[in-house]
């Protein structure tokens, strides 16, 4: 605050005191106004965040409850045993489809939780993008065919190989082995998840008879050094580049003729828990997590993802840029990803019908789970494959069962839950490993649990389990895991 006069003035002590007091009061008023404005801004932001949270919880409740309706409804009808064979098959397909939908929703929530906590860990290796994209396309092909959507994939080599359309054909599949230039440093399962999410969104928002196109090409640009994107990320094999260095990128574009993107919503399309409006959620479903997960996974791979649309009703194009691997390779495509890891990102609708056919004939399995329904299901499944199942409801009962068996009758495999009361699965396996081989100390053990974080997997292996499987699990996958363990 300043005072000015047209003529020189002399001020008394009282004048100076008055001006000082006035200045202090003005300063306090300004400070209070600034604090009030800051408080109002913080309140507005908090209210907005609460609205987003409340909307998300409402959507979450809706999305989790919706699949339960056909599951419970068809289950009640099946119990009456008054349906013909065709209706029974349709009911079972509906129950399976909706149960898998719930599983995917839970997986998305777990991924977001890991991302927000900085606990999403990735292991990198050279990955050929062509078979990765082909696998993702196969997982959504049935969904596209159900809506008569034309789904195509084109590879554009930009001068360093052969170009081919629709590499799902046998000829093109053989050609894909030649595309080593489309190798990136990444995690195979997560790269397939990126493409699968984009394709799923495209098919979801494209009307019947529409078109979804995937294109893979190579582009160049100037980049900056790629460091570890997150402290939680293991970037083994990740490349680094000096500022200004010319970089070759693999460019994946997923284009559709769907509903497009509202320009007002475009800046928020990769945000967590966001969809264009409640009408979109009601019509198409989903939690609004897929694109946010895509963005984070792409960034963990040192890449970028962008969305482009001319507006509502004009379709949309999503472009992913990933740094190409700058090394010389042999003629063999990397296959470091295990079948179990590939299966985790394979859309469940494309998995084959289980065929058990005495795969575990002569094998004895000790089942430990405090949940009666799970225990009954596992025992039935194992018996269907020719195995002998010994089912126990607690760790103490499992130890007593081992004590009552002779060395020749000990189980070959332990299949145990983790989250059990009193003595959990970790304590159980530690006690078993402390036993002599004649009392079951060397039994091959699998942890089958709903604790799905990577920390839980590491803890299970460290405790003495040989394998960690996450509930819910496909019967065929469980049998394959047991066979793999015994081999």
Tens digit of each residue's pLDDT (9 = 90 or more) over 418-458 = 988 889 999 999 999 999 999 999 999 999 988 877 788 89
pLDDT for position 159: 45
Q: What is the mean pLDDT of residues 47-52?
A: 73
Query: Domain segments of the chain: what residues?
Result: 1-119, 121-350, 364-486
**305, β-bridge pairs:** 320
Helix (H, G, I), strand (E, B) or coil at 420: coil
pLDDT value at position 275? 62
Q: Which residue would you say has higher pLDDT here, 354 or 206?
A: 206
Contacts of residue 186, Cβ cutoff 8 Å, sequence gap at least 6: 122, 124, 125, 127, 301, 322
Mean per-residue pLDDT over the chain, rounded? 79
As a whole number, mean pLDDT of residues 42-62 equals: 73
Angle, vertex CA 289, rays to CA 98 and CA 116, nearest 5? 125
**Mean pLDDT, residues 385-399 taken together:** 94
Q: How confident is the model at residue 221 (pLDDT cuts 50, 70, 90)?
A: low
Model pLDDT, residue 366: 97
- Encode pLDDT of 118-140 as tens digits: 777 788 899 999 999 998 999 88
In the structure, what pLDDT confidence band is assigned to residue 169 with cuts at 50, 70 and 90? very low
pLDDT of 397 > 90? The answer is: yes
3.40.50.720, 3.40.50.2300, 3.40.50.300, 3.30.465.10: CATH of 364-486: 3.40.50.2300
Query: pLDDT at position 229, please?
Result: 36
- Distance in angstroms (rounded) separating the CA atoms of residues 467 and 104: 22
For residue 164, pLDDT beyond 50: no
Average pLDDT over residues 202-227: 79
Phi, psi for 175 (deg, rounded to 5) = -65, -30
Percent helix / strand / coil, the chain, rounded to 5: 50, 15, 35
Which of 334-348, 394-408, 454-468 is least confident? Answer: 334-348
Query: By C-alpha distance, which of 339, 324, 294 is closest to 193?
Result: 294
Q: 219 near 251, Cβ under 8 Å?
A: yes
Rounded to an integer, the average pLDDT of 277-305 is 75
Q: In terms of Cα–Cα distance, which of 252, 240, 249, 126 is closest to 188?
A: 126
Pairing of strands 211-223, 150-155: parallel
pLDDT at 171: 39
The predicted pLDDT at position 62 comes to 63
* Residue 194 predicted with pLDDT over 90: yes
What is the distance between the alpha carbons of residues 242 and 240, in angstroms, rounded to a whole number? Answer: 7
CA distance linking residue 111 with residue 131, whole number of Å: 24
pLDDT at 356 (0 to 100):
59
**Residue 440 has what pLDDT?**
94
Higher pLDDT, 163 or 44: 44
Name the pLDDT band for 90 (thresholds 50, 70, 90).
confident
Whether the predicted pLDDT of 163 surpasses 60: no
pLDDT for residue 222: 53
Fold of the 121-350 domain: Heat Shock Protein 90 (3.30.565)
pLDDT digits (tens, 9 = 90+) for 296-354: 999 999 999 999 999 888 999 999 999 988 654 433 333 333 333 444 443 443 444 44
pLDDT (0 to 100) of residue 99:
86
In the CATH scheme, what architecture does the domain 1-119 have? Orthogonal Bundle (1.10)
- Choice between 244 and 154, residue whose per-residue pLDDT is larger: 154
pLDDT band, residue 247 (cuts 50/70/90): low
- pLDDT mean over 47-64: 70
In order of 99, 405, 431, 479, the CA distances from 401 in angstroms are: 34, 7, 14, 23
What are the pLDDT digits (tens) for 6-32? 778 787 888 888 888 888 888 899 999
| Residue 26 burial (CB count, 10 A) | 11
Calculate what percentage of the chain has a pLDDT beyond 90.
Answer: 37
Q: What does the pLDDT read at residue 83?
A: 86
**Mapping DSSP to helix (H, G, I), strand (E, B) and coil, where does residue 459 land?**
helix
CA distance 217 to 211: 19
- How far is residue 285's CA from residue 306's CA, in Å, rounded to a whole number? 23
Asked if the model's pLDDT at residue 392 lies above 60, the reply is yes
More confident residue, 451 or 36: 36
């Amino acid at each position: 605050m300043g005072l000015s006069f047209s003529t020189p003035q002399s001020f008394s002590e009282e004048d100076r005191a008055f001006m000082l007091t006035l200045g202090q009061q003005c300063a306090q008023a300004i400070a209070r106004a600034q604090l009030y404005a800051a408080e109002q801004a913080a309140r507005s932001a908090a209210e907005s965040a609460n609205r987003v949270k409340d909307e998300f919880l409402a959507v979450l409740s809706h999305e989790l409850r919706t699949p339960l309706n056909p599951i419970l409804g068809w289950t009640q009808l099946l119990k009456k045993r008054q349906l013909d064979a065709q209706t029974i098959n349709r009911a079972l397909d509906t129950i399976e489809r909706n149960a898998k939908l719930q599983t995917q929703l839970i997986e998305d929530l777990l991924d977001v939780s890991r991302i927000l906590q900085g606990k999403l860990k990735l292991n990198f290796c050279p990955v050929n993008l062509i078979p990765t994209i082909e696998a993702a396309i196969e997982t959504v092909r049935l969904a596209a065919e159900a809506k008569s959507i034309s789904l195509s994939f084109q590879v554009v080599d930009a001068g360093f190989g052969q170009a081919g359309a629709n590499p799902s054909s046998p000829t093109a599949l053989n050609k894909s082995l030649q595309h080593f230039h489309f190798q990136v440093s990444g995690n195979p399962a997560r790269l397939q998840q990126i493409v699968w999410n984009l394709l799923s969104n495209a098919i979801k928002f494209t009307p019947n008879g529409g078109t979804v196109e995937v294109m893979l090409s190579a582009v160049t640009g100037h980049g900056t050094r790629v460091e570890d994107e997150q402290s939680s990320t293991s970037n083994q094999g990740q490349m680094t580049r000096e500022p200004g260095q010319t970089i070759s990128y693999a460019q994946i574009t997923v284009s559709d003729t769907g509903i497009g993107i509202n320009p007002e919503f475009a800046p928020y399309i990769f945000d967590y828990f966001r969809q264009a409006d409640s009408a979109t959620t009601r019509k198409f479903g989903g939690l609004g997590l897929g694109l946010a997960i895509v963005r984070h996974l792409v960034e963990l791979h040192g890449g970028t993802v962008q969305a482009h649309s001319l507006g509502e009703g004009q379709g949309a194009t999503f472009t992913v840029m990933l740094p190409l691997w700058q090394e010389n390779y042999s003629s063999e495509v990397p296959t470091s990803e295990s079948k179990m890891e590939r299966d985790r990102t394979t859309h469940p609708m494309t998995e084959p019908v289980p065929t058990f056919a005495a795969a575990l004939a002569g094998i004895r399995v000790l089942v430990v789970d405090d949940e009666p329904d799970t225990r009954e299901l596992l025992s039935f499944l194992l018996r269907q494959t020719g195995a002998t199942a010994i089912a126990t409801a607690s760790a103490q009962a499992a130890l007593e069962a081992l004590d009552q068996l002779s060395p020749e009758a000990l189980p070959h495999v332990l299949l145990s839950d983790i989250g059990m009361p009193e003595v959990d699965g970790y304590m159980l396996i530690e006690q078993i490993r402390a036993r002599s081989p004649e009392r079951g100390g060397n039994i091959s053990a699998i942890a089958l649990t709903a604790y799905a974080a990577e920390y839980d997997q590491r803890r299970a292996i460290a405790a003495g389990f040989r394998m960690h499987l996450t509930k819910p699990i496909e019967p065929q996958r469980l049998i394959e895991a047991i066979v793999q363990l015994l081999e």
